[in-house]
Homo-oligomer: A and B are copies of this chain.
């Protein structure tokens, strides 16, 4: 008996063996026509019978015969061919800055799980926040006929909007929003989150609270900054200019660098509200290098509740966001738009909660 694998290799093409030695059926390349032959009908009929929406057009028992044949042969429609005809690939592009940033995996899973349940596959690309690379990924995905996009990348608004206009594919923003709210977006309520953070340290007795902000070109950085100011004002606390510094990126070393500036300019701060957990970790490093203890000497609050934040030393007090739900909500938004082109741009804001842990304590000074 000729081994199936060998036969396949010899043929080096489609139409290989359909039955393995164990009797299991394997669709190496069984097409619509094969099913048609088996069911004694025309390929067109098979197409109709197998497609749920057109099944009504075909005789009940013919349909059943076809479906049984398809089942027997292990027929799997070829999405490539289907897409060529229908201009739909049932694929969506997901752009994130960096999958190794712990913020994104849960969001991506939220997206993928929801999209997968709806029969869509997601293509993931990491842009490293490089506009060129982002553009490139974008084009590559369009070339692959993705039906839509979900993006968590952060490009300057104008530029992004310009390139997005006239785009055939719907696009949903996740964990970021546009200033003019012209694109559907799912984020956490960043201002609310910042308020939770400020209220927490204020309740502990802090008065001299600093803000280690994120990039102001990103909506998260900007909104959290606004939220910080608003909450401080609401608490009747003055915010000096030197109490606020912005990191150019949401990464640890930027956080450390800017934290040094912040402490130099505002040495009597007793608490730092960071715009992001990684920035907060940068603070940890600076405090350690300056012999300051956290939380005894200075309290630190993060934002995002990244995985394992409760394992840090000290366990990070932080604003908790529903990562997974953010992803699935974005997927839902896109799914709606994939069906029928909508021209509204819902702005979904999910509520953050708060995780009080070991990096905050009442001030001693």
Interface residue ranges, A against B (CB under 8 Å): 3-5, 8-9, 13-14, 16-17, 20, 22, 26-28, 76-81, 83-84, 87, 89, 98-100, 102, 105-106, 108-109, 112-113, 116, 121-126, 139-140, 142-145, 162, 165-166, 168, 281, 284, 307-308, 311-315, 341
Contacts and interface: CB of A to CB of B under 8 A. Distances in A.
A308 B281 CA distance: 10
Contacts of A144: 79-80, 121
Q: How many copies does the complex hold?
A: 2
A13 B87 contact: yes
Q: Which of the listed residues A4, A20, A79 has the most CB atoms from chain B within 10 Å of its own CB?
A: A79
Contacts of A145: 78-80
Contacts of A126: 109, 112-113
B26 A166 contact: yes
Contacts of A89: 80
A84 B87 contact: no
B109 A105 contact: no
A100 B76 CA distance: 31
Given A28-B166, A100-B106, A281-B311, 7 more contacts: A3-B166, A4-B166, A105-B105, A112-B125, A113-B126, A121-B144, A311-B313
A142 B76 contact: yes
Nearest to A285: B311
A269 to B, nearest CB: 23
Contacts of A102: 102, 105, 307-308
A111 to B, nearest CB: 11
Contacts of A84: 78, 80-81, 84
Nearest to A108: B99
Q: Which of the listed residues A78, A98, A166, A281 has the most CB atoms from chain B within 10 Å of its own CB?
A: A166
Nearest to A89: B80
Contact of A76 (B112, B124, B143): B143
Nearest to A139: B76
A329 to B, nearest CB: 17
Nearest to A116: B125
Contact of A87 (B14, B123, B140, B168): B14
Contact of A109 (B22, B28, B87, B99): B99
A9 B311 contact: no
A105 B105 CA distance: 8
A77 B307 contact: no
B166 A140 contact: no
Nearest to A323: B100
A101 B315 CA distance: 20
Contacts of A112: 124-126
A8 B168 contact: yes
Nearest to A324: B100
Contact of A166 (B20, B99, B100): B20
7 contacts: A8-B166, A28-B166, A113-B126, A123-B123, A281-B308, A312-B313, A313-B315
A17 to B, nearest CB: 7
